[in-house]
Amino acid sequence: MKAKNFTYEQSGVSIKKADNFIKFISSSTKKSKKSGKFKNIGGFGALTKLPLKLKNPYLVTSTDGVGTKIEVANQLKKYDTIGIDLVAMCVNDLIVQGAKPLLFLDYISVEKINTKKLKNLIKGIIKGCKLAGCELVGGETAEMPGTYSKGKFDIAGFSLGIVEKHKILINKIRKNDLVIAVPSSGLHSNGFSLVRHVLKKKKIDLKKNSYLKKELLEPTKIYVKYILKLIDRKYLNACANITGGGLEDNIKRVIPNNLCAEINLKKLRTLNIFKWLKESGISEREMLKTFNCGVGFCLIIKPIHYKRIIKFFPKNYKPYIIGKITKNSKKVKLSGKIIW
């Protein structure tokens, strides 16, 4: 009996679809290329020129994903915003160190390539890179039948930034500095396993709830252009990206020993989506541990700079004071209760 000729296509992997998708990415990124004549998309590795006139540069790297926000996108069949989330989760970490984002790479793993879905996803990533002022230089799309169930996928991002040594935001915090909050655009990309648990327990049909459909897929705010301007003017002593773990866990990562960020929770300006979650049966303690509660980013500054700083932000993202730096062995101290 003649042996059957097996093919990769029969196993569930389409090289042709993957190649066509790479061509789409390449054509979509041409206008924003900073790598000159070098071909990055579709190559084995990406080439990027380092900025000139840097005397003592340091490279800063970050990698992240968007968690189970992907499941909400899948449920609503809306994929054009989670790419922005992916970029935001990486570049907002870079700027905490004072770094300017240079390049971004993505990793997309899928059960089977759905070209329409992936094109929308990539459009979001390209938009996020534009907002962050960096370049999408490459990535990987892995078709993995048998690993993911039908329609399932995951995404991860990697970003590289650069900073002059004297601009690195380390060990600059002093007693009596102010802690100011920069508003979030919503949930950002944290706590979605808890959100989905609430939806399931309350038997909410997301497809029929226009408010939740909009709020849950609101993309993570990218703070790069504001923060870099403040760094250039030497207005910042430190900053923190408020992601998983909430205010306390993220702020304490930048506070030196023997100093404390004392935060008055009454000053927090929460958004309606957080009020909805609280009213759905989540305790305030759990809300603070899981979500940003309306604070997407925190800045630690000298009091003299406060009025100057707020001028750099648009109306919906004006920073406001939530606390100050004191002497204490505990790095973060929360007082009061949030006014929901």
Amino acid 303: pLDDT: 98
- C-alpha distances in angstroms, 338 versus 39, 69, 155, 246, 323? 51, 25, 34, 14, 14
Amino acid 2: pLDDT: 58
Contact residues for 12 (Cβ-Cβ < 8 A; gap 6+): 111, 112, 143, 145, 146
pLDDT band at 22 (very low <50, low <70, confident <90, very high): low
Strands 100-110 and 295-301: unpaired
Residue whose pair of structure tokens reads 């042996």 in the numeric block: 3
Dmax over Cα atoms in the chain, in whole Å? Answer: 86
Query: Could you tell me the residue range of the domain that residue 134 belongs to?
Result: 17-22+53-167
pLDDT in tens, 255-294: 999 999 999 999 999 999 999 999 999 999 999 999 999 9
Q: Is the pLDDT of residue 17 over 90?
A: no
The enclosing domain of 137 has a CATH number of 3.30.1330.10
Whole-number Å distance between alpha carbons of 80 and 64: 18
Amino acid 122: pLDDT: 94
8 Å CB contact between 121 and 83: yes
Q: Is the pLDDT of residue 33 over 60?
A: no
Output the six-digit token pair for 192. Answer: 């979605």
- Is the residue at 58 inside a domain? yes
Chain centroid offset of residue 17 CA: 29
- Is the residue at 134 inside a domain? yes
Same domain membership, residue 121 and residue 229: no
Same domain membership, residue 151 and residue 239: no
Amino acid 35: pLDDT: 52
When pLDDT is averaged across residues 316-340 and rounded to a whole number, the result is: 96
Same domain membership, residue 244 and residue 155: no
Same domain membership, residue 232 and residue 113: no
8 Å CB contact between 107 and 64: no
Same domain membership, residue 250 and residue 136: no
Return the closest-CA partner of residue 86 out of 156, 28, 152. 156
Q: How many domains does the chain have?
A: 2
Amino acid 42: pLDDT: 61
Pick from 44-48, 106-110, 307-311, 312-316: least confident = 44-48
Amino acid 19: pLDDT: 60
Q: Is the pLDDT of residue 231 over 60?
A: yes
Please report the beta strands in the chain, taking only residues with DSSP state E, as ranges in sequence order. Answer: 57-65, 100-110, 135-143, 153-164, 178-183, 238-241, 259-264, 295-301, 320-327, 332-335
Same domain membership, residue 149 and residue 182: no
pLDDT band at 148 (very low <50, low <70, confident <90, very high): confident
Pick from 37-41, 87-91, 125-129: least confident = 37-41
Whole-number Å distance between alpha carbons of 234 and 231: 5
Q: Is the pLDDT of residue 48 over 80?
A: no
pLDDT band at 201 (very low <50, low <70, confident <90, very high): very high
Sign of the C-alpha dihedral, residues 230, 236, 242, 243?
Answer: positive
- Is the residue at 294 inside a domain? yes
When pLDDT is averaged across residues 237-258 and rounded to a whole number, the result is: 96
DSSP secondary structure string for all residues of 213-258: HHHHTPPPPP-HHHHHHHHHTT--SEEEE--TTHHHHHHTTTPPTT
Same domain membership, residue 288 and residue 158: no
Pick the last residue of a domain from 101, 134, 167. 167
pLDDT band at 7 (very low <50, low <70, confident <90, very high): low
Return the closest-CA partner of residue 86 out of 107, 111, 114. 107
Same domain membership, residue 105 and residue 243: no
Same domain membership, residue 329 and residue 182: yes
- Is the residue at 45 inside a domain? no
Whole-number Å distance between alpha carbons of 129 and 115: 21
- C-alpha distances in angstroms, 57 versus 54, 65, 209, 309? 6, 27, 49, 26
Higher pLDDT, 106 or 23: 106
